[in-house]
Amino acid sequence: MIQKPRGTEDLIEAEVKEFFALEMIIRNIVDLYNFSEIRTPIFESVDLFKRGVGQETDVVSKEMYTFFDKKNRELALRPEGTAPTVRAILENKLYINEKLPLKLFYFASMFRYERPQSGRQRQFNQFGVEVFGPKSSELDAELMCVAVNILNAIGIENHTVHLNCLVNDEQRKKYIIDLKEYLKSFDLCSDCQTRIETNPLRVLDCKVDGDKFVDVKDMKDYLSDEDKQYYDDLKKDLENLGIDYKEDKMLVRGLDYYTGFVFEIKDDKGSTLLGGGRYDKLVNELGNIDLPAAGFAFGMERMILALKNNNISLSPQSSLDAYVIGLSKKAKQFANILLLMLRNAGLKVDVDFMDRSFKSAFKQADKYNAKNIIIIGDNELKENVVVIKNQETKNEKKVKFEDIVKTIIEGK
């Protein structure tokens, strides 16, 4: 039998409902913050990610699903949503002043060729927000507030906001010189021996050796006066909003575009639920337009896993207003018309299509959590009635055809 590709998932029944319920809660929250939705293509030019996310990042150098189309264009299934959003803003000229600030969100499938494990797939779904326009610490705090708001709304209250601020320009160069000097005394893993040349900050994030670098110098001590002031303002804004955070000098993030504050939220087991930060140069790098920006994203699957670990279910148990059992061919034909009437009245109903015995049709009704069972036989048809059994009260009564809809609605 052909099986699903490694690192992908089939979502079935209750799992889909849970996903949907999570999405609805998030949609309601981002609506309160006045965000609007953006949808970009599932594949993009490979160059977008090479230039946008960074050639040396793991995402681009190792994890992209790339392919050539029939005209030999090199394309990639999108591994993340920030670079495509920037591309869409530039291409659709959404950067004009009257549209700013642009507050966008997306739900989208992402693809990364990673080693699958719990909470890490090769196809996963991200919810993300990106804000373009102002460089404002209040806005950055608002972004983190959205993230915390979502987590609290779904009941994952046991989490920690990790915060750091990346250095830029000349200060970054100085920091990297000192970092390389510091790292000389360590036996680095093979990946980090490359990273130290191509992307030295990422060494701090190493899954193998990261824990060893505890006394590395704090990047924040290298911040320019302006960046330091901004970061201090951001911390004050977070405090004003009642958002607790933990400063984490090891937090560097795995994508190259960040230029200021970065943050991740981890659950009580230390696994990362979401991440993001400020990326003020990306729009310029991709489109020669100065447009500061910040955002974050989380994996929907990771959130669902966290909900499961906390024994939280967001989707209400589903039920039917009525389940119809037709006992003869004629009764089944009538049942079909009845179902249409009931559905037109906004009632959720279903019928036994499987020719089950009376007993197992009842069992099926229980499985569907039906509030009523409507039984139709030839005798009932002759009398122009059906039997309605209310599953909650266990009352059973004959109801005239014209009163069926009313009876079900009243029993709701």
Q: Does 106 bind ligand HAM (CB under 6 A)?
A: no
Only one of the segments 112-120, 162-170, 197-205, 397-405 lies at the binding site for ligand HAM (rule: CB under 6 A); that segment is 112-120
Indicate the residue among 147 and 375 with the shorter CB distance to ligand HAM: 147
Instruction: Check residue 162 and give left, alpha or beta (phi > 0: left; psi -120 to 50: alpha).
Output: beta
Min dist CB 155 to ligand HAM, Å, is 17
112 is in an annotated binding site: yes
Which of 283/331 has CB closer to ligand HAM?
A: 283
Part in contact with ligand HAM (CB under 6 A); list of ranges 100-108, 116-124, 218-226, 232-240: 116-124
| Residue carrying the six token digits 């037109």 | 344
Cβ closer to ligand HAM: 58 or 380? Answer: 58
Q: Which of 294, 356, 367 is nearest to 325 (CA)?
A: 356
The whole-angstrom separation of Cα 5 and Cα 392 is 45
Site residues for ligand HAM, window 130-169 (CB under 6 A)? Answer: 130
Q: Is 227 in the site for ligand HAM (CB under 6 A)?
A: no
| 276 among annotated binding-site residues | no
Q: Does 301 bind ligand HAM (CB under 6 A)?
A: yes
Given candidates 9, 15, 56, 114, which one binds ligand HAM under the rule CB under 6 A?
Answer: 114
Residue type at 103?
K
The one-letter amino acid code at 83 reads A
Strand order in the sheet with 385-390: 349-351, 322-326, 372-376, 385-390, 396-400
The pair of structure tokens assigned to 130 is 């990106």
Q: Judged by CB, which is closer to ligand HAM: 9, or 178?
A: 9
Give 176's contacts (C-beta < 8 A, 6+ positions apart).
200, 201
Please state, in angstroms and rounded to a whole number, the distance separating the CA atoms of residues 102 and 132.
5
Cβ–Cβ under 8 Å, residues 395 and 411: no
Q: Candidates 78, 87, 195, 302: give the one binding ligand HAM (CB under 6 A).
A: 302
Helix (H) or strand (E) holding 7: none
Among 52, 54, 128, 260, binds ligand HAM (CB under 6 A): 128
Instruction: Kindly state the number of chain residues that form the binding site for ligand HAM, as judged by CB under 6 A.
Output: 27
81 is in an annotated binding site: yes
CB 76 within 8 A of CB 264: no
Site for ligand HAM in 24-83 (CB under 6 A): 80-82
295 binds ligand HAM (CB under 6 A): yes
Q: What is the dihedral of CA 301, 19, 303, 146, to 10 degrees?
A: 130
Does residue 52 have a known ligand-binding role? no
Could you tell me how many residues make up the chain? 412
**Distance of alpha carbon 109 from alpha carbon 122, whole angstroms:** 10
Q: Which of 297, 324, 327, 381 binds ligand HAM (CB under 6 A)?
A: 297
Rounded to a whole number of angstroms, the minimum distance from the CB of residue 114 to ligand HAM is 5
Q: Which two tokens stand for residue 92?
A: 């659709």
Binding segment toward ligand HAM, per CB under 6 A, in 15-23, 223-231, 292-300, 380-388:
292-300
Q: How far is CA 242 from CA 160, 172, 249, in A?
A: 13, 31, 22
Q: Is 292 in the site for ligand HAM (CB under 6 A)?
A: no
Q: Which residues contact ligand HAM (rule: CB under 6 A)?
A: 80-82, 112, 114, 119-121, 124, 126, 128, 130, 254-255, 272-277, 295-299, 301-302
Binding-site residue set for L-histidine: 80-82, 112, 126, 130, 253, 257-258
